[in-house]
Amino acid sequence: MTSAEDGSSTGAPPSPRVPRVPRHTVIAAYVGARRRRFADRQQLARWQQPRLERALRRARTAYPFYAQVPEGGLAAFPILDKRTWLEHFQQLNARGLTLDECLTAARMLEQQRRFDTRLRGLSVGLSTGTSGRQGAFLTSGRERAVWAGTILARALPDGLRRRERVALVLRAGGPLYESVGSALVSFRFVDLYEPLVAQAAALQDVAPTVLAAPPVLLDRLATLLREGRLRISPRLVYSVADVLDPEVAARVEAAFGVPLGQIYQATEGFLGITCRHGTMHLNEDLLVVEREEIDTASGRFVPIVTDLWRTSQAVVRFRMGDVLVPAPQCPCGSGYAAIARIEGRSDDVLLLPAAGSGSPPGSGPGDGGLSGGVAGASREGVSVFADSVRAAVLGVADVADFRLTQLAPDRVRLAVDPAQAHPAAVAALDALWQRAGVRPPIVEQADHEPLPSAAKARRVRREF
Ligand SMILES: [Zn+2]
């Protein structure tokens, strides 16, 4: 299924399936994003301030949920997590759309792999349900244009001076990505849910100069390249939409022969992208990012984002599910915050009772000290971060891959490839539990799936 063959409108290529975005807005956003450079944080803050004030004024009038918020800047607004945000969905969008009507409409078309759902002039997309409940996101043509112009400005170092063929392999991300396209840039959306062989054929056909795909798929394409079953040579490759493990990055870079960039994109917006030095920078000209610090030693934080541009749906003090690790200042000189790693959903942090505590997380104080940067303690128990679990298990010489799922406060399920390495992996985890100062959970053994679905691509998950 390709973007330009639908024929349902007479619009120019590449995609008649998707509502078109105003091209002059794309160009304006592109030019603006390329021009915006901030030498330091103060300069950035001065630029953000009036735009933030305007966004908050707009929030009070456009979204009923905020009508009663007292004056007092950002701090006067409540922090919303996804669950609360979905509960008040109707009061948090400018058209009074209910979550149910959006989900019904979007699901119906997603089944047909069409992404042009529109309700009262807004496009509706489905967001991945990480914690069970699926959400919907609404965008206007103008918002998509700003988004597109900005991502082009940041993702193409040479800008629009040279002709690019961009291939994107994603789940229902269609409307945002596909709605751009000009004489200089062509977009091709490849469906993440198609079989690998069909995806490879589509990519071979496009011969992309720029490729963006989730890491699990890049890894599989890297295998095809090595085996000579795929011949493409994009000069820019981006990992998008999921957490990128260093081992996957190394394999992909080796196979493609180019450095792997990373786009940090979520339902809540285009949050960040790597610079030429490979450092992830947050797009603080699109968003104001507050930090909820969860570990003092490393500075790990959960970002709380406020969008400066959106007008169709509120993103005001939205608490993301990700955990970010700050980086020292980047040699590129950008004033945007530098991020060393995205550790993915905060659900991917294991939560275990402190060693010696009698009660499971959530029912006791359990605030032991921090342990060597692998864990952080809080009232809920001790957090063991996904990257320390990855380092421990993949540090075992025989382990090629693994999945670890925490099922309960005292129980995890571990699948190791190859299965013979299971005892060694368990031993490595035992050492980790000890370092982190937690009570060792029961480790159940499970079979490793050689090709997990995109949804199961995360190695470390917490499911309770
Ligand atoms: Zn940089």
Q: How far is the CA of 274 from the centre of ligand 1 (A)?
A: 7
Exposed / middle / buried, residue 7 (Cβ in 10 Å: 0-12, 13-18, 19+): exposed
CA–CA separation, 305 and 325 (whole Å)? 16
Q: How far is the CA of 334 from the centre of ligand 1 (A)?
A: 6
Q: How far is the CA of 343 from the centre of ligand 1 (A)?
A: 19
What is the average per-residue pLDDT within 169-185? 58
Angstrom distances, CA of residue 326 to CA of 73, 270, 301: 25, 18, 8
Q: How far is the CA of 245 from the centre of ligand 1 (A)?
A: 20
Q: How far is the CA of 252 from the centre of ligand 1 (A)?
A: 21
Q: How far is the CA of 156 from the centre of ligand 1 (A)?
A: 15
b/e code 305-340 from CB counts within 10 Å (16+ = b): bbbbbbbbbbbbbbbbbbbbbbeeebeeebbbbbbe
Dump pLDDT digits (tens) for 308-327: 999 999 999 999 888 899 99
Dump pLDDT digits (tens) for 198-240: 889 999 999 999 999 988 889 889 999 999 999 999 999 999 8
242: which DSSP letter?
A: S
Dump pLDDT digits (tens) for 377-406: 555 678 888 878 888 888 888 887 888 999
Ligand 1 (ion): residues with CB under 5 Å are 275, 277, 279, 330, 332, 334
CA–CA separation, 115 and 124 (whole Å)? 8
CA–CA separation, 389 and 40 (whole Å)? 35
Q: How far is the CA of 336 from the centre of ligand 1 (A)?
A: 8
Of 12 and 94, which is predicted with more confidence? Answer: 94
Q: pLDDT grade, residue 455 (50/70/90)? A: very low
Lowest-confidence region among 189-198, 249-258, 331-340, 447-456: 447-456
Q: How far is the CA of 335 from the centre of ligand 1 (A)?
A: 9
Q: How far is the CA of 320 from the centre of ligand 1 (A)?
A: 23
Q: How far is the CA of 151 from the centre of ligand 1 (A)?
A: 16
**pLDDT at position 94, please?**
95
Reading the block at residue 94, the tokens are: 């400018």
Dump pLDDT digits (tens) for 185-194: 777 778 776 7
Give the contacts of 76 (CB within 8 A, at least 6 positions apart): 69, 70
| pLDDT of residue 135 exceeding 90 | no
Of 18 and 349, which is predicted with more confidence? Answer: 349
Q: How far is the CA of 337 from the centre of ligand 1 (A)?
A: 9
Dump pLDDT digits (tens) for 331-352: 998 999 999 988 866 667 888 9
Q: How far is the CA of 46 from the centre of ligand 1 (A)?
A: 21
Share of the chain above pLDDT 90, in %: 44
Q: How far is the CA of 313 from the centre of ligand 1 (A)?
A: 30
**pLDDT at position 178, please?**
52
**pLDDT at position 423, please?**
95
**pLDDT at position 382, please?**
83
CA–CA separation, 460 and 388 (whole Å)? 10
Average pLDDT, the chain: 82
What is the average per-residue pLDDT within 2-23? 41
Largest CA distance in the chain: 69
